Amino acid sequence: MTRDEIQSAIFELLKKTAPDTDPTNLKPDENIRESLNIDSFDALQFLVALNDKLGIDIPEEDYGKTATLGSLTDYLEERSR
Amino acid sequence: MSDIKITYREALKAGIRDALLKEERVFLMGEDVGRYGGAFAVSKGLLKEFGADRIMDVPLSEAGFVGAGIGAALAGVKPIVEVMTVNFALLPMDQIVNNAATLLHMSGGQINVPLVIRISAGIGKQLAAQHSHSWEPLFAHIPGLIVVSVGTHEDARGMLHTALEHPDPVIIFEYTSMLNLEAEIPADAGPTNISKAKIRREGKDISIITYGIGVYKALEAANRLSEQGIDAEVIDLRVLRPLDEESFIRSVTKTHRALLVEEAWNTINISSEVSARIMEKAFYELDAPVKRLGGIEVPIPYPLHLENASVPQVEDIENAVIKILRP
Amino acid sequence: MKEFLMPSLGADMEAGTLVEWKKKPGDQLKPGDIIAEVETQKGLIEIEVFEAAILENYLIEEGDKVPVGAPMAKLRSESIPGKIPEKDSETHPIQEEEQATESEGPVPSDSISEETSSKEKPSEEKHRIKASPLARSIAEKHNVDLNNLKGTGEGGAIIKADVEQAMAGQKEAPKQTPETGALKDVMKKKTEPETASKQVIKSRTSTSKPGQQESIRAAVAAAMSRSNQDIPHYYLEKKIDMLAALNWIKETNRQREISERLLPAVLFIKAVAKALDSAPALNAVWDNGLQFKNEVNIGFVISLRAGGLLVPAIRNADTKSVDEIMAALNDMIPRARALKLRSSELSDSTITITSLGENGADKVFGVIYPPQVAIIGFGSITDQPLVHEGMLAIRPVLQVTLAGDHRATDGLTGSRFLQALNNHLQNPEKL
């Protein structure tokens, strides 16, 4: 998948989780959960949805590496090759 | 004849004075009725006018002086016994129930007790729990007594006379909170009966049945209700025992709805009896359940706003009627 | 014959709007079946029936807003044996009344309308309509059938005005159909057709409208004010070392698919459920006295994105495994956010947990939801220095608070509970 496609998927799923926000406004180094006010439950749901859509599983010890938009996109891009 | 403006107090006094003037055997006895002029100034000046033979100050012993009054009545004179307030009236209860009310029966009809006891009742002036009772229902429960309630100036002026003419004991309830209230009565106003209820205001939508302090409040509520298109009939029971059933049954048959209002505590009061009778005699005319608005079941509180909240006020009557008519 | 009444779905609920019937007249209902969807301040809620019955007919229509306790439908209970044979309602309602006076008395609030469903069906149940005596005599005199009149009197009783209106409208004796029949004519409330109401439901599954949020806010405000006014709160706090628990979760999740992973909240819920064994007085309600509850139904506070709270219950949390609790959360939280909870879920809690999650305040002092007697608050887990085996260590620390109703329990009970809670969280594998 291309980086753009990955970003689209991320925005789409974030919008589903936090419908009252505009995820496309996120800066690459912003903490996604903080900026969009997403709690731990919704975060887990987001990851489940991401897994369903992209087939990529993010293990718990890697949660720290995927906290920002930039780092999440990087992480997913690496594993989608 | 034109009308005169008079306070409730003045009307009561005029009634007593009339009685004293008309009949020699009549005399007034009670705490502070003579020299002090009456605890509530009702008998002011009467001692001077009629002398100590007719206006008698009694010791602070309700059981004692009510008993003495009963004795006087049995002996052939006509005492008007004044018990300062109903709050003290439990003390002579034995005399009233076991003697005054019962001697006629126990003597096989031979002995009448032509006694009149005037008792002040009701809340007011923040006199709190022990001094604010409305115990009319307790007295209205006793066979052998006639119990009346002075809810208007016309009755303040007129009921005493008729009570004194009755061969049996009559308890007259007066209301301290109304003493200063002014109203107009005919200048030649005279005796009023002690047997019938009276329609104080005619209406067709609901019968508000009340007595005592409730009468003027119900009339005020009825005025306000008429502005909302509700035409309420107001019945002043006047006689609490024996109830003039015919009057209120006739009223409910016409209006098909009833709201019973009184200050006495809601459980087991006059309204309970009236409600039962309406159910018994006018059931098929009812278009809504009979509702009762009585005193809240608490000892009367001291703070003014709570004292006022413990009995039905004009708004409460108004709201209760609206609720019945527009559920 | 019984009436299905609009249930109360919260202490402060006054009315609900029927959005959609989920069952039709003639349908057999089992306990737990959803009979309708009702909109309240708390959102769209599915209403359940709690007994086996047959849905006889509707008493209100989709779109109607009715107060709590108002009849919504007639149900025919199968267990009621035949009583007095049916009387023809046209002849002498007065006689019927006299019988009623002896057995049932004229108090409107007690009478449940039992009904013979039609003249076509020879039913064995006694006919009983709530109507004032006056209305009955007028109806009898003018041959008006009370059967299908809608009463506007107190408690839905038919009064004189209703009979006169029926006479004026020149209604013929209505045929009893499975649907609302003549009721449709008498009730003038129906506005949109059925499709419109279905569209309303569809739009509701996405974000909630501002009006909805305001009423949820209002409902929360009312409940919290009441709580603050009526309940004397006492507060206890405990700091809990979460290292063992967090490690256990990390290990467990490592070996699982993402969709099976657990959140710390699940441990909180299970630990609270078990800790209540040491302090059963906290799993109770206060209603002029303490009433212990057998079931441990843990209400879990869910905040809505646009503001406001919903508190659905995880039932029998003490008997569920942590996996089952996670499954329950997975099921309930999305439905809560979409305002699609069931009536039984919103009214069953015996105790409540509120968890702030991460990145929030350190601890939360909760407000008890009456008639419960306790609420447990879980703050955020932050690294803090503490003493472990005589040495200074940095540990992930959770500050737990207990707010208790001081009429029901005191600090001793609360302390015991917090102690037990801590012990359970130190042994997560045993939860």
Q: What confidence score (pLDDT) does residue B166 get? A: 96
Residue C331 reports pLDDT greater than 60: yes
Tell me the chain A residues in contact with residue C250 when contact means C-beta distances shorter than 8 Å: 60-61
**For the residues B62-74, what does the mean pLDDT come to?**
97
Confidence tier at C210 by pLDDT (50, 70, 90): low
Mutate to test the interface with B, among C96, C136, C154 (most CBs of B within 10 A): C154
Write out pLDDT tens, residues B231-242.
Answer: 999 999 999 999
Residue in C with minimal Cα distance to A41:
C263
Tell me the chain A residues in contact with residue C305 when contact means C-beta distances shorter than 8 Å: 18-20, 37
Report d(CA C206, CA C174) in Å as an integer: 42
Of residues B279, B284, B327, nearest to C134 (C-beta)? B284
Q: What confidence score (pLDDT) does residue C211 get? A: 59
Q: Which helix (H) or strand (E) segment is C241 a member of?
A: strand C233-241
Q: What confidence score (pLDDT) does residue C90 get? A: 41
Report d(CA C431, CA C320) in Å as an integer: 10
Task: Please name the residue ranges forming H helices in C22-108.
Answer: 93-103
**C313 Cβ partners below 8 Å, 6+ apart?**
C297, C298, C299, C300, C345, C346, C347, C348, C349, C350
The more confidently predicted of residues C236 and C112 is C236
How far is the CA of C96 from the CAs of B44, B62, C82, C188, C393, in angstroms? 63, 55, 17, 30, 83
Residue (of B33, B84, B37, B45) closest to B61 by Cα position = B84
Report d(CA C135, CA C116) in Å as an integer: 20
Tell me the chain A residues in contact with residue C260 when contact means C-beta distances shorter than 8 Å: none
Segment among B29-33, B44-48, C235-239 with least mean pLDDT: C235-239
For residue C16, report the phi and psi dihedrals to the nearest 5 degrees: -140, 155
Of residues C94, C136, C154, nearest to B289 (C-beta)? C154
Report d(CA B7, CA B184) in Å as an integer: 9
Residue in C with minimal Cα distance to A18:
C305
Q: What confidence score (pLDDT) does residue C208 get? A: 47
Q: What confidence score (pLDDT) does residue C76 get? A: 87
Enter the pTM of the model: 0.49
Residue in C with minimal Cα distance to A55:
C258
Task: Please name the residue ranges forming H helices in chain B.
Answer: 8-22, 46-50, 62-75, 93-94, 103-106, 136-140, 153-165, 214-227, 245-255, 270-282, 304-309, 314-325
Pick one of 3.30.2130.30, 2.40.50.100, 3.40.640.10, 1.10.1040.10 as the CATH number of C2-107: 2.40.50.100
Q: What confidence score (pLDDT) does residue C109 get? A: 39
Q: What confidence score (pLDDT) does residue B1 get? A: 66
**Residues of chain B by 3-state class (helix, strand, coil), percent to 5:** 40, 20, 40
Q: What confidence score (pLDDT) does residue B322 get? A: 97
Sheet arrangement for strand C65-67: C65-67, C15-21, C34-40, C43-48, C340-342
Contact across the interface for B288 and C107, Cβ inside 8 Å: no
Looking at the complex, report in whole angstroms how far the Cα of residue C326 sits from the nearest Cα belonging to chain A: 10
Confidence tier at A64 by pLDDT (50, 70, 90): confident
C contact chains, 3+ CB pairs < 8 A: A, B
The more confidently predicted of residues B127 and C200 is B127
Report d(CA C321, CA C330) in Å as an integer: 14
Of residues C101, C132, C155, nearest to B287 (C-beta)? C132
How far is the CA of C305 from the CAs of A1, A19, C194, C308, in angstroms? 32, 9, 30, 8
**Residues of chain A by 3-state class (helix, strand, coil), percent to 5:** 70, 0, 30
Residue C27 one-letter amino acid = D
Residue C106 reports pLDDT greater than 70: no
Residue C337 reports pLDDT greater than 90: no
Classify burial at B188, counting beta carbons within 10 Å of its beta carbon; exposed 0-12, middle 13-18, buried 19 or more: exposed
Segment among A20-24, B209-213, C255-259, C261-265 with least mean pLDDT: C255-259
Fold of C212-430: Chloramphenicol Acetyltransferase (3.30.559)
Looking at the complex, report in whole angstroms how far the Cα of residue C56 sits from the nearest Cα belonging to chain B: 27
Looking at the complex, report in whole angstroms how far the Cα of residue B327 sits from the nearest Cα belonging to chain C: 5
Ordered by start, the domain boundaries in chain C are: 2-107, 133-205, 212-430
Q: What is the ipTM of this complex?
A: 0.81
CB C35 within 8 Å of CB C22: yes
Report d(CA C13, CA C226) in Å as an integer: 13
How far is the CA of B325 from the CAs of B75, B255, C264, in angstroms? 55, 11, 58
Contact across the interface for C261 and A57, Cβ inside 8 Å: no
Residue C171 reports pLDDT greater than 70: no
The more confidently predicted of residues C399 and C223 is C399
Q: Regarding the domain with residue range B3-186, which homologous superfamily does it belong to in the CATH classification?
A: Thiamin diphosphate (ThDP)-binding fold, Pyr/PP domains (3.40.50.970)
Residue (of B10, B17, B85) closest to B54 by Cα position = B17
Share of chain A above pLDDT 90, in %: 5
For residue B306, report the phi and psi dihedrals to the nearest 5 degrees: -75, -35
The more confidently predicted of residues C42 and C69 is C69
Contact across the interface for B289 and C152, Cβ inside 8 Å: no
Chains B and A: 3 or more CB pairs within 8 Å of each other: no
For residue B150, report the phi and psi dihedrals to the nearest 5 degrees: -90, 95
List beta partners, residue B191: none
| Positions of B marked active-site | 62, 131
Residue in C with minimal Cα distance to A47:
C258
Residue C393 reports pLDDT greater than 70: yes
Q: What 3-state class would DSSP assign to C426?
A: helix
Mutate to test the interface with A, among C209, C258, C333 (most CBs of A within 10 A): C258
Report d(CA A2, CA A8) in Å as an integer: 10
Report d(CA C74, CA C339) in Å as an integer: 27
Q: How is residue C256 annotated by DSSP?
A: S
Report d(CA C319, CA C316) in Å as an integer: 6
Write out pLDDT tens, residues C339-387.
Answer: 778 777 887 889 999 987 766 788 888 889 888 999 999 988 888 888 8
Tell me the chain C residues in contact with residue A37 when contact means C-beta distances shorter than 8 Å: 305
The more confidently predicted of residues B47 and B327 is B47
Looking at the complex, report in whole angstroms how far the Cα of residue C20 sits from the nearest Cα belonging to chain B: 27
Write out pLDDT tens, residues C18-64.
Answer: 999 999 998 988 888 899 998 887 778 888 888 888 998 899 989 89
CB-based contact, B322 to chain C, within 8 Å: no
The more confidently predicted of residues C108 and C277 is C277
CB-based contact, B287 to chain C, within 8 Å: yes
Please identify which residue in the block is written with the tokens 């974000």.
C207
Compute the count of residue pairs across chains B and C with CB atoms less than 8 Å apart.
38
**For the residues A34-60, what does the mean pLDDT come to?**
86
**For the residues B194-200, what does the mean pLDDT come to?**
98
Report d(CA B97, CA C238) in Å as an integer: 68
Residue in C with minimal Cα distance to B276:
C106
B contact chains, 3+ CB pairs < 8 A: C
Contact across the interface for B279 and C137, Cβ inside 8 Å: no
Confidence tier at C213 by pLDDT (50, 70, 90): low
Report d(CA B92, CA B88) in Å as an integer: 8
Residue C202 reports pLDDT greater than 80: no
Contact across the interface for B288 and C137, Cβ inside 8 Å: no
- Output the CA angle C214-C217-C219, nearest 5 degrees: 110
How far is the CA of C108 from the CAs of C28, C131, C139, C158, in angstroms? 30, 9, 19, 11
Tell me the chain C residues in contact with residue A41 when contact means C-beta distances shorter than 8 Å: 263, 265, 329, 333
CB-based contact, C338 to chain A, within 8 Å: no
**For the residues C214-221, what does the mean pLDDT come to?**
75
Write out pLDDT tens, residues B154-178.
Answer: 999 999 999 999 999 999 999 999 9
Highest mean pLDDT among B52-61, C48-57, C267-276, C293-302: B52-61
The top-level CATH class assigned to B198-325 is: alpha beta
For residue C377, report the phi and psi dihedrals to the nearest 5 degrees: -110, 130
Mutate to test the interface with B, among C95, C104, C134 (most CBs of B within 10 A): C134
Q: What confidence score (pLDDT) does residue C212 get? A: 64
Ordered by start, the domain boundaries in chain B are: 3-186, 198-325
Write out pLDDT tens, residues B262-309.
Answer: 999 999 999 999 999 999 999 999 999 999 999 999 999 999 999 999
Segment among B212-221, C333-342, C393-402 with least mean pLDDT: C333-342
Q: What confidence score (pLDDT) does residue B104 get? A: 97
Confidence tier at A18 by pLDDT (50, 70, 90): confident
* CA-CA-CA-CA dihedral for B144, B150, B156, B158, to nearest 10: -50
Q: What confidence score (pLDDT) does residue C79 get? A: 54
The more confidently predicted of residues C288 and B132 is B132
Q: What 3-state class would DSSP assign to C48?
A: strand
CA B170 to chain centre: 11
Q: What 3-state class would DSSP assign to C408?
A: coil
